[in-house]
Amino acid sequence: MSGCCVYGCQNRFSSSSGLKLYRIPKGAHPFQQNRRRLWLQAIKRVDENWTENTIRNARVCSAHFIS
C-alpha cells in the first residue's frame, strides 16, 4: 500500500478511496527540472536529504492538485 509523501498528509492508496497517486517528475530535461524543483518545494521536502531512489519512489496524492 503506497502513501502520499506530502508533509503532514496521511492519505494512502486503496481502490475504494478514489485517490490517485502521481510520481514526482524525473528532471531529465530543463523543463522537467524546474517542475521537479517546484514539486519538491510544494510538498515541503526540499531541505530533507532525499536520495534519488527515495524521490523516484515517492508519490503525491490527487488531493493536492487543483485541477
CA pair distance 50, 67, nearest whole angstrom: 27
What's the whole-model pTM score?
0.77
**Using CA of residue 65, residue 59, residue 44, residue 37, what is the dihedral sign?**
negative
The average confidence (pLDDT) of the chain is 85
Domain count, the chain: 1
CA 27 – CA 62 distance, rounded (Å): 20
pLDDT in tens, 2-26: 789 988 899 988 777 788 999 999 9
Q: Which residues form the domain of 29?
A: 1-67
Residue whose grid cell is 496521511: 10
